[in-house]
Amino acid sequence: MFIFNYSTIIDPLLQGIRIYTPEFSGMKKGDKVLDVCCGTGDQAFHYNRIGIEAAGIDLDPKMIKVAEKRKEKYNLSNISFQVSDAKELPFKDASFDFVSISFGLHEIEREERDKIISEMKRVVKKEGFLIFIDFQVPLPKNTYSYFGRGIEYFAGKNHYKYFKDYLLQGGLPVLLAKNKLKEEKRDYFLNNLVIIVKSKRI
């Protein structure tokens, strides 16, 4: 049920962000980019459309199955997906020019957020960048914010608990500082509900 809603509601809602992310990040044709917690693979497909060698990983086999079906449907070759734990990425050090994660950090326990960011830092090249997309903290007081809260609430009890803890922790700026990442630039979407940050290791 959640996968159906993700493909038919969440992916279309985030299409503008997905399209903008490569341009915002400075990605170019030929770059190698990993999307962590890729879900149905939507962001990776937007990378692939501009000639990026894209890879996506997700812990949910059902999500990866959806991504693989889309890959087969469009007969794409320069993109790959696999079931994997973001806390133990199956890639060598410095394998990618960019590593991104969209709306994945607020879905997990606080301790696991640092582990995932550590793995992202490990697999990105020294001169590469990490791209983070998630909820702005504090949430803006507008209709988009109430809609976002509603989605998180109906996603499940644990999901909503982690979301509230993410807000309590302070969101991306706090996580980046804690994990010794320097913010290069940022932007906002959906009436300031969503923040996108380009960062690199200090």
pLDDT at 1 over 50: no
- Please report, for the chain, the start and end positions of each structural domain, with discontinuous segments joined by +: 2-201
Q: Taking residues 50-68, report their average pLDDT.
A: 96
Residue 174 in 3-state DSSP? helix
pLDDT at 3 over 50: no
Give Cα 149 distance to the centre of its chain.
18
pLDDT at 91 over 70: yes
Q: Taking residues 63-68, report their average pLDDT.
A: 96
pLDDT at 183 over 60: yes
Q: Are 78 and 48 in contact (CB under 8 A)?
A: yes
pLDDT for 123 equals 98
Q: By percentage, how much of the chain surpasses pLDDT 90?
A: 84
Structurally, at CATH architecture level, domain 2-201 sits in 3-Layer(aba) Sandwich (3.40)
Q: Are 163 and 152 in contact (CB under 8 A)?
A: yes
pLDDT at 2 over 80: no
Mean pLDDT of the chain: 93
Lowest mean pLDDT among 15-19, 35-39, 120-124, 172-176: 15-19
Residue-wise pLDDT tens digits, 22-54:
999 999 999 999 999 999 999 999 999 999 999
pLDDT at 8 over 90: no
Residue-wise pLDDT tens digits, 100-146:
999 999 999 999 999 999 999 999 999 999 999 999 999 999 998 98
pLDDT at 192 over 80: yes
**Alpha helix stretches (DSSP H) within 136-191:** 143-154, 157-169, 172-178
